Amino acid sequence: MRWDIFCRVIDNYGDAGVCWRLAVNLAQRGQTVRLWVDDASALAWMAPDGAPSVQVMAWQTPLALEGITPGDVLVEAFGCEIAPEYIAIYAQYTRARGQKYAWINLEYLTAEGYAARCHGLPSPVMSGPGIGLTKHFFYPGFTSDTGGLLREADLLTRQASFDRNAWLAQQHLTWPGKPVAVLPDEGLRPRLVSLFCYEPAHLGTWLKALANDIMPTWLLVTAGRSAAAVRQILQNDLGLPPGQNQHKALSISYLPALSQTEFDHLLWACDLNFVRGEDSLVRALWAGKPLIWQIYPQDDHAHHAKLRAFLDWLQAPPSLRQAHACWNDLLDNATPAADALRAMLSSLDAWQSTFSHARQTLLKQRDLADSLLQFVAKTH
């Protein structure tokens, strides 16, 4: 089938990242996809090679629709309100031909109970150029009664063939004083940690904890807001490395902007991953390594319930819940941030079983693209 996916980039490019992955996932399953996006600039580094059967279209105002035949499936990502001129020709095209259609309202990812309750529900269009048509809510999720998570058909094969040391060497990343190729896998090997974050309130406290830890840490910092936050702290706080890094326990490498494929590799290479937003959370879950999620903050604090629901689904132990509370600035006043972060360093081995179990559970469920194909087959 032919799919039209509409996406507006709000900030941080997460919306574009999810929609691009969805487009590629569908194309891998024999579909043809047009991705309409109002700011495609991030795709230059997210997906520099493009993808077969995926065409990126400029979502401008007004939308250039001359010569455009509407697709069989229309995906409205994250409530982006598709251009009315497209809805008009979509409605006209389907009615004139008596053609069945599928209009999907793809929602944000959440582990909250309403996702399962609302997944697949119809939403009749009562006004505007699409009056008389029906959308259907489609919720990604962590359970089998939702739409599932994005997962490429070849994900497990790629993971099985991944070589951490070779990848680090390809990125020209070298632990101080030792070539990457001879780093031991155990014992004195540094703890590898990826950092993809906004500006967490306790980032400075975390860097100090790493600098004073007995075990060495190699922090791989992603480009953009993460790198700017770390550099600002190192510049403004004289108590941080090298001053506090007396035992050279902490080494920091700053990464260039990574494609989606290389970002997956980063997560697979590390022992602990700090991620933010929606897309990187899903990628970190597939990595199967301990992770800390910085959820996108909302003014009405709706993200508090969303984070708790995720941790409940994960069956997170108390130490993991406390670490998430600290990283998301939700600690109660009785728990010092430094104590919570130091406890994190001693809990990684215990957390590993939690994330291994979560990954195995998710692998047994249908992925998002397959769920969409099955749903559309029933409604189309």
Predicted local distance difference test score (pLDDT) of residue 182: 46
pLDDT digit string (tens) for 141-152? Answer: 999 999 999 999
Of the candidates 4, 107, 152, 278, the residue annotated as catalytic is 278
Is residue 295 predicted with pLDDT exceeding 80?
A: yes
- Both tokens of 35, joined, read 């991705």
- Which pLDDT does position 175 carry in this prediction? 67
Domain with 287, as residue range(s), is 155-363
* Coil, helix or strand at residue 26: helix
Q: How confident is residue 290, by pLDDT bands cut at 50, 70 and 90?
A: very high
Q: Which helix (H) or strand (E) holds 275?
A: strand 272-276
Question: What percent of the chain is predicted at pLDDT more than 90?
Answer: 68
Q: Same structural domain for residues 198 and 160?
A: yes
Q: Is the pLDDT of residue 273 over 90?
A: yes
Q: Does residue 16 sit in the same domain as residue 53? A: yes
- Tally the domains of the chain: 2
CATH number of the domain bearing residue 321 = 3.40.50.2000
Mean pLDDT of the chain: 89
Sheet holding 122-124, edge to edge: 54-58, 32-37, 2-7, 73-77, 102-106, 134-138, 122-124
Tell how strand 134-138 and strand 122-124 pair up: antiparallel
Greater confidence, 24 or 98?
Answer: 24
Between 40-44, 96-100, 368-372, the lowest mean confidence (pLDDT) is in 96-100
> Between residues 337 and 39, which one has the greater pLDDT?
39
- Beta strand 191-195 pairing with 272-276: parallel
Averaged pLDDT, 196-211: 91
Q: Which residues contact 71 (CB under 8 A, 6 or more apart)?
A: 1, 2, 3, 4, 34
Kindly list the distances between the CA atom of residue 232 and the CA atoms of 28, 53, 236, 237, in Å, as whole numbers in the listed order.
Answer: 42, 42, 6, 8
User: Would residue 278 show up in a list of annotated catalytic residues for this protein?
Assistant: yes
Which of 85-94, 103-112, 161-170, 333-342 shows the lowest mean pLDDT across its residues? Answer: 333-342
- Res 242 pLDDT > 50: no
CATH of the domain at 33: 3.40.50
Is 299 one of the catalytic residues?
A: no
- Does residue 255 carry a pLDDT above 60? yes
- Considering the domain architecture, whether residues 64 and 183 belong to the same structural domain is answered as no
Do 124 and 208 belong together in one domain?
A: no
Query: d(Cα 173, Cα 372) in Å, to the nearest integer?
Result: 39
Are both 210 and 355 inside the same structural domain? yes
| 3-state DSSP helix/strand/coil % of the chain, to nearest 5 | 40, 15, 45
- Say how many residues make up the chain: 380
Same-domain status, 86 and 55? yes
State the pLDDT confidence band at 179, using cuts at 50, 70 and 90. Answer: very low
- Catalytic one among 4, 15, 279, 367? 15
Whether residues 259 and 333 fall in one domain:
yes
Please check whether residues 98 and 200 belong to one and the same domain: no
pLDDT of residue 243: 42
Helix or strand (DSSP H, E) at 373: helix 368-379
H helix runs in 185-288, sequence order: 203-211, 225-236, 260-269, 279-287
